[in-house]
Amino acid sequence: MEIIISNSSGKPIYEQITDQIKGHILSGKLQAGDTLPSMRALAQDLKISVITTKRAYNDLEEEGFITTVARKGCFVSATEPSLLRENNLKTAEEHLQKAVDLAKQSGISLEEVQDIVKILYEGE
C-alpha cells in the first residue's frame, strides 16, 4: 500500500492517510477483505506517531471504510459504491465552497467561476 506523507501540505497527517487509503479503496487498488498494515507497523514505516495512525484508522472505521477485528488486524470493508460517491461528493462540495469563498472575497463573478469549473471539468 502506497502512502506519501507531505510535511508541507498544511493538511494534518492523519487526514493525509485517511484520504489516501480512501483513494486506494475507491480506485480499486485495495479490495474488500484486503488486510491493512497494523497501526504500529504503519507508524514505524511512515516514521510517525502511533497516535496519528490510530486516529486515521479510527476515522476510516467510523466512516465505514475499514473494520477492525480484535487480534487479527484491520480489513477493508465491503463498501457500497453509493457510500463512496456520497463521500466524494461531500469532499468536492467542501473544495468548491473554498473556491467560492475566495471568489467572493476577490470580486470574481459567478459566471467566471462557472466558466473555470466547466473548462477544468471538460479538460480532464
Partner 1 sequence: MEYAVKATGVCKDYGSFSLKSVDLEIPKGFVTGLIGSNGAGKSTIMKCLTGAVIKDSGTVEFDDGLELKEIGLVFDECPFPQYMKCEQLDGIFTRMFDGWDGEKYFAHLQQFGIDRKKKVKDLSRGMSMKLQVAVAFSHPTKLLILDEPTAGMDPASRDEFLDSLREYMQDEEHAILISSHITTDLEKIADYVSFMKNGQILVSSGKDELEESYGLLKTGGECPIDKELVICSRRSESNTVYLINDKAGVREAYPELVVDDATLEDIMVMFARGDY
Least distance between partner 1 and beta carbon 114 (Å):
26
CA distances from 85 to 15, 25, 38, 80 (A): 18, 12, 27, 9
Options 18, 22, 25, 52; binder of partner 1; rule CB under 8 A: 52
| Residue type (1 letter), 51 | I
User: Letter for the amino acid at 66?
Assistant: I
Contact call for residues 73 and 35 (beta carbons, < 8 A): yes
Among 1, 32, 51, 102, binds partner 1 (CB under 8 A): 51
| Comparison of 18 and 52: residue with beta carbon closer to partner 1 | 52
- Tell me the site size for partner 1, rule CB under 8 A: 13
Return phi, psi of residue 74, to 5°.
Answer: -110, 140
Q: Does 100 bind partner 1 (CB under 8 A)?
A: no
The interface region with partner 1, picked from 28-36, 51-59, 66-74, 75-83 by CB under 8 A, is: 51-59
Question: Looking at 31, 35, 44, 97, which residue binds partner 1 (CB under 8 A)?
Answer: 44
Q: Which amino acid is at 70?
A: A
CB atoms within 10 A of CB 43: 18
Question: Which residues in this chain contact partner 1 in the complex, by CB under 8 A?
Answer: 12-14, 40-41, 43-44, 47, 49-52, 55
